[in-house]
Structure 1
């Protein structure tokens, strides 16, 4: 294995639940709004079922979990309050998952292009990654506002890879939930899924190519996928 054996490959990462455990601050903002609205806060354990589909869905599901109607959470003013509070507290308790920094550094040393492909708004993604000193690892940070279609569309992944300077035909997705798995399938990309992220359904049912229990297992999963890729290519000739 050469020192730069991942040159020509792009690894696309989801953000919340994959790179960063952002539940403390997302649920923290939700709970502050619930209390302001005279509703009970939701337990942190709710994060797995509430996070993953964007701020509006988080508000709707959070209000339902607190015993209110989802319609009550659809106010544009409430959404703006959520975004303002979350921006102010975006990295109070959020941290990279164990092994993230070391793994990203090794992947870059091996020549891989790294890109973030997230349904989190790009400015918020950049703010969070900057505060956690993770921005330096990525060639591009691509939220739904920077592509023509968001996950679960494969267009999101393919356009994100191109924006990072990579080839969508040589790219791998790393995520934690259905939008990641579905987008990877739609884009024709292999998909690695974490078992420690935010998904309301069992991750085993999402159709990922490889499941990992620790971020430190990302490299081994990538190596396995690439081994299969080169074997299949050799069999065609």
Structure 2
């Protein structure tokens, strides 16, 4: 029988670049829109680090790369077309990173509450996770439209954890980029960052408590952080 030693703890996960490699479909949508606008498509590597910054940043990048006026990229009409196209192709090529399913199952078996805290709109997040059969692992999927402030505000994490039925004082953030690290620091939560995600700046500079190269290392990182937590707590008495 699995020891339910993580009961009372919540683990909050970022989505894009942490749980799921969503670059193929986000950049696929970007390139279809660029072609429709008479512009050349962008290379995957040139745009993938911008994924955590949202659709508007991707559109601006595409227009800048083509030497086209960015005012068009910033239009609400083009943004809405991006969302419609992306929703239609949201899981064509996107896949969970290696080890995600197995790790989520082990953490849940040990009693942890799992929640997604993402800057991706909630309905799109739910659609992607449902299509990849990942939604069943999470007590809540919380995008910026369901909280009072988006990451890097700590309010996003605290409210996401509370929505899932957890205690923000006993929660850990797992992400891949500056908004995740910033939100964790603002919320007073330990932070694990993966090195394989989408970040325009070196992940080593973001101040994570733990860096991991493989998703399957999340469980060991959580155990290390909890050991530090309980040792620190014991030393106070």
TM-score computed with the length of structure 2 as normaliser:
0.98
Describe the SS at the equivalent of 1:152: coil
Aligned partner of 2:58 in structure 1 is 58
Aligned partner of 1:71 in structure 2 is 71
Greater shift, 38-47 or 8-17, is seen at: 38-47
How far residue 60 of structure 1 moved from its aligned partner, in angstroms, is 1.7
Aligned partner of 2:230 in structure 1 is 230
How far residue 204 of structure 1 moved from its aligned partner, in angstroms, is 0.2
CA contact (8 A) 2:47 2:58 kept: no
How far residue 53 of structure 1 moved from its aligned partner, in angstroms, is 1.2
* Structure 2: runs of 5 or more not aligned: none
**1:171-211, CA deviations, whole angstroms, 9 ceiling, x for partnerless residues?**
00000000000000000000000100000000000111100
Q: How does 1:110-129 map to 2 (within 5 A)?
A: 110-129=110-129
Check if 1:99 corresponds to 2:99: yes
Query: Are residues 144 and 62 of structure 1, via their aligned partners in 2, closer, same or farther at CA, if it must alter by over 3 Å?
Result: same
How far residue 62 of structure 1 moved from its aligned partner, in angstroms, is 2.5
TM-score computed with the length of structure 1 as normaliser:
0.98
For residues 5 and 114 of structure 1, what CA distance do their matches in structure 2 show? 14
For residues 63 and 6 of structure 1, what CA distance do their matches in structure 2 show? 47
CA contact (8 A) 1:172 1:191 kept: yes
**1:144-178, CA deviations, whole angstroms, 9 ceiling, x for partnerless residues?**
00000000100000000000000000000000000
Aligned partner of 2:44 in structure 1 is 44
For residues 79 and 64 of structure 1, what CA distance do their matches in structure 2 show? 16
How far residue 94 of structure 1 moved from its aligned partner, in angstroms, is 0.1
Aligned partner of 1:17 in structure 2 is 17
Check if 1:175 corresponds to 2:175: yes
Check if 1:83 corresponds to 2:68: no
How far residue 48 of structure 1 moved from its aligned partner, in angstroms, is 3.1
Runs of 4+ in 1 over 6 A off after TM superposition: none
For residues 206 and 29 of structure 2, what CA distance do their matches in structure 1 show? 29
For residues 184 and 43 of structure 1, what CA distance do their matches in structure 2 show? 32
Describe the SS at the equivalent of 2:38: coil
Aligned partner of 2:185 in structure 1 is 185
For residues 65 and 158 of structure 1, what CA distance do their matches in structure 2 show? 38
Quote the RMSD (CA, aligned, Å): 1.2
Describe the SS at the equivalent of 1:52: helix
For residues 62 and 225 of structure 1, what CA distance do their matches in structure 2 show? 40
For residues 170 and 158 of structure 2, what CA distance do their matches in structure 1 show? 10
CA contact (8 A) 1:47 1:198 kept: no
CA contact (8 A) 1:126 1:141 kept: yes
**1:50-71, CA deviations, whole angstroms, 9 ceiling, x for partnerless residues?**
2101122222223223322332
